[in-house]
Chains A and B, each alone.
Chain A
Amino acid sequence: MSELSTTTIPSTSRSSSSVWCACLLALALLAITPGHAEAADDELRKVAVADPYLEMHTGPARGYPIFHVVDRGESIEIVMQRTDWYQVRAANGVEGWVDQAQMELTLKPDGSEVEFARATLEDFTNARWEAGILAGDFGGANIVSLYGGYSLNPHVSVEVWGSQILGNFSNGWMGSVNVVHETWPDWRFSPFFTLGAGIIHTSPKSTIVQGEDRTDEVGHVGVGLRVYATRRFLLRVEYKSYVVFTSRDENEEVEEWKAGFAFFF
């Protein structure tokens, strides 16, 4: 692909029409929503190619073939971004997908280098918002949890959890609020301690005759590990020990193990 000419392979052209795809086009027209309308041309960000050439892929992934190259010095417009790929439009109207590594070698209209934000380990430490999905074992029952968190500072964050508990004998849900403390938030493997309280609701399965619905307060302590995976993605494992403050004579203790993934913003 080191040839200087801007070559287009006809088989991957999106411009010519065919009677064979009339039905598909009709479906496409039905499916396109008004929100999908492209922004006006003058609102698109423009950059100039600074590398000897810029490779355009037919789709936003490494597997898609390169079908067009743009020469050094030519101007391109950025239409949109999906994950780490940018859909760009060349001066001759050809549109294709360029990966972030190549886009970082372009220049702004004023001649300075283009910077594209990419999440790093530093963002993992300093990001304000986090949301994730975890699943595991809650005292013998299955548990599926969603959580959202807000960092007050790199060490301390507040989280809100919602869980569904699915057991052999009873089902239920649990909502809780907890405070998380990370001792070494700048580590890729960052351990944390957590403390919280909430409400648990349990109802026995319909096939079990006796038993009634209960709503109790819970308190918990826990330890866990956040692991920075890639980009905005992190893995999380944790152990929590719950005390259910029942209306009966004895409180109930439940151990919970969970693993899952989360994103930070």
Chain B
Amino acid sequence: MESRFRVLFLITLVIMLSGCAATKNLFGIGDEEAPPPSSEPLGQVIDPQVERREIKEPAIDREDFEVSAFAGIMNIEDFGSDAVYGLRLAYHVTEGFFVEASVGQSEASLTSFEVLSGGARLFDDRTLTYYNLNLGYNILPGEVFVGEGRAYNTNFYLIAGLGSTNFAEDDRFTVNFGAGFRFLLTDSVALHADFRDHLFDIDILGREKTTHNLEGTIGVSVFF
């Protein structure tokens, strides 16, 4: 009988001790076991096994090109003034410099000689077409203020370049220079006012001479 009680007591004791051992760390009671001495040097205490999140960055939209359509009036020396229209494509290299390719077309009116002499025309194809490759510089960036609460960015630029003019049945080497005003309605859309002088040599009226052909245009451009 006594040995039976002793066995029961011992079993109860064992169960209680094991229960305490199981809950000891749950309640934070009792001594913490010291971690085994690490053989590795300290430094990276935690070694995260998490893969670094790869972020695919969206590409930044570049808007360095500017395409524009223009129309205006061109005065062809000795041949009167007529409408001119054309297209331009510019690439903005830096905040100051841009390069531009330009094509345009106009019509030549009659010279005073042709009007006074009656019928005889100097040549038949009266269309003038030109192309030129130019270098421009935004010399005066600025703002204009419309009304009380609105400001628009502007640019006054100088531009010059080389090209060719097809006029009076020949291609003529042409130098052009001028200035323009860019009025940015938004950051991507602008209005232009341009004034340029196209210089080329012509001998259609007897003596060869360098002519100044002045062109004033307005246009609309879009950056892309």
Interface residues of A (CB under 8 A from B): 10-14, 16-21, 24-25, 27-28, 31-33, 35-36, 39, 43-45, 58-65, 78-87, 108-110, 133, 135, 142, 144, 146, 164, 166, 168, 171, 205-207, 230-233, 261, 263
Interface residues of B (CB under 8 A from A): 52-53, 55, 57-64, 91-97, 99, 133, 135, 138, 140-143, 145-151, 153, 162-164, 168-173, 184-189, 191, 201, 203-204, 220, 222-224
Tally A-B pairs: CB < 8 A: 151
Question: Beyond A63-B142, A109-B55: 19 further Cβ-contacts under 8 Å?
Answer: A10-B149, A11-B145, A18-B146, A18-B148, A20-B147, A35-B224, A36-B188, A39-B58, A59-B143, A60-B187, A80-B187, A110-B53, A110-B55, A144-B162, A164-B171, A206-B169, A232-B93, A233-B97, A263-B93
Residues in A neighbouring B168, C-beta threshold 8 A: 206
Determine how close the nearest CB of chain B comes to the CB of A245; give it in whole angstroms: 24
**Known A31-B220, A84-B94; contact A133-B133, beta-carbon cutoff 8 A:** yes
Residue from the list A17, A28, A84 in contact with B185, Cβ < 8 A: A28
Do A110 and B52 touch (CB < 8 A)? Answer: yes
Tell me the dominant secondary structure on chain A's binding face.
Answer: mixed
Residues in A neighbouring B191, C-beta threshold 8 A: 27
User: Which A-B residue pairs are the 10 nearest by beta carbons?
Assistant: A20-B147, A166-B173, A16-B149, A18-B147, A63-B141, A142-B173, A28-B185, A59-B153, A61-B95, A80-B61
Q: Provide 23 A-B residue pairs closer than 8 Å at the C-beta atoms, listed in order of the A residue.
A: A12-B143, A13-B149, A14-B151, A18-B147, A24-B185, A27-B220, A31-B222, A33-B222, A39-B61, A45-B57, A58-B143, A59-B153, A59-B184, A78-B60, A80-B60, A80-B62, A80-B187, A82-B63, A84-B94, A108-B57, A133-B99, A206-B168, A232-B93
